[in-house]
Amino acid sequence: MEQVHPHCLTARSGHDLVLYLPYFLHLSLLHILISFVTLGQSCMLSLYSSIYVLDLCMICATFFALGHNIALRKVGCSS
């Protein structure tokens, strides 16, 4: 049985997260579109701002996982 690098154990979960990147991007674009359509309703602005923060967090997490996978590949982990 070959030796597995400790960081290789998290490679699969990170790779799964990267697969959701298109979904996160489309979700963000949908929220932006909705906010433009209902821009006149000021009561919704706080809701949209919190949604933008959530979108930003999801996208950052996805790019972090992508970078993590590239780093893992360089140390010999299989994706």
Q: What pLDDT, on a 0 to 100 scale, did the predictor assign at position 58?
A: 74
Residues 69 and 79: beta-carbon distance below 8 Å: yes
Residue pLDDT, tens place only, 9-63? 554 555 555 666 677 667 777 777 776 666 656 556 666 677 777 777 777 777 7
Report the C-alpha gap between 51 and 49 in whole angstroms: 5
Instruction: Please calculate the CA angle 25-62-75 and round it to the nearest 5 degrees.
Output: 145
Q: What pLDDT, on a 0 to 100 scale, did the predictor assign at position 33?
A: 72
Q: What pLDDT, on a 0 to 100 scale, did the predictor assign at position 79?
A: 47
What pTM was computed for the model?
A: 0.40
- Phi/psi for 16 (5° steps) reads -60, -40
